[in-house]
Chain A
């Protein structure tokens, strides 16, 4: 069974600074998908960024980028120019070709003004 580990229960960043959230996963598959989702307090979970395992190029979405290391089974999220609205819980999710997702236990990000 796949497992997803987020080793940082809490992270803190100063507004306008950069922060990196870590995620590692375990799988024997070669083709899969990885996602980062954001869950603001009392609000719905939304997609931040996605990465297909067959793509070598790291995904980027505005201030959000990933560092995907397939051999190391690592998928970290970098948030640049952090904003107050980035404060949330961030979940890393591994998803199979059949669409089955396994989530990590999340990292709570605090943004300090």
Chain B
């Protein structure tokens, strides 16, 4: 089966600009995650979707970050306006299991490396 796809792979922007990332999860996976991974740290959850509904967005900086999952499949993560501290790798992951039915592994995409100058 095809893996989790993300684009773009790299993005360089100036601070205060906006940027959007795209993720296509593995077909049939109900749960989709966006993580922020700053260099030298572990992934930090930004938002978790089940189908097209938000399960958890408690760590999403909502004044500048937004995310949506259209029709329960693809997802986009947007940053507007970007700050220097947003420089990181943004990982998308998907999992077969909806919350509450047992937890399966997460399959990760290759990530988008964002540099904010």
Contacts and interface: CB of A to CB of B under 8 A. Distances in A.
Are A and B part of the same complex?
Answer: yes
B42 A99 contact: no
A50 B33 CA distance: 18
Contacts of A98: 55-56, 99-100
Given A35-B105, A44-B3, A47-B105, A99 B95 contact: yes
Given A45-B108, A95-B103, A98-B55, A105 B44 contact: no
Interface residues of A, number: 25
A44 B26 CA distance: 14
Interface in A84-109: 91, 93, 95-106
Contacts, number: 59
12 contacts: A35-B106, A37-B108, A44-B108, A45-B108, A95-B103, A97-B100, A98-B99, A99-B98, A101-B33, A103-B42, A104-B42, A105-B42
Instruction: With a 10 A CB-CB cut-off, give which of B55, B100, B108, B111 has the most chain A CB atoms.
Output: B108
Nearest to B93: A45
Interface of A: 4, 6, 33, 35, 37, 43-47, 50, 91, 93, 95-106
From DSSP, what is the main secondary structure of chain B's interface residues?
loop
A106 B103 contact: no
B91 interface: yes
B71 to A, nearest CB: 20
B48 interface: yes
Given A35-B105, A47-B106, A99-B31, 4 more contacts: A96-B103, A99-B97, A99-B99, A104-B42
B6 to A, nearest CB: 10
Nearest to A99: B99
Interface in B75-116: 91, 93, 95, 97-100, 103, 105-106, 108-111
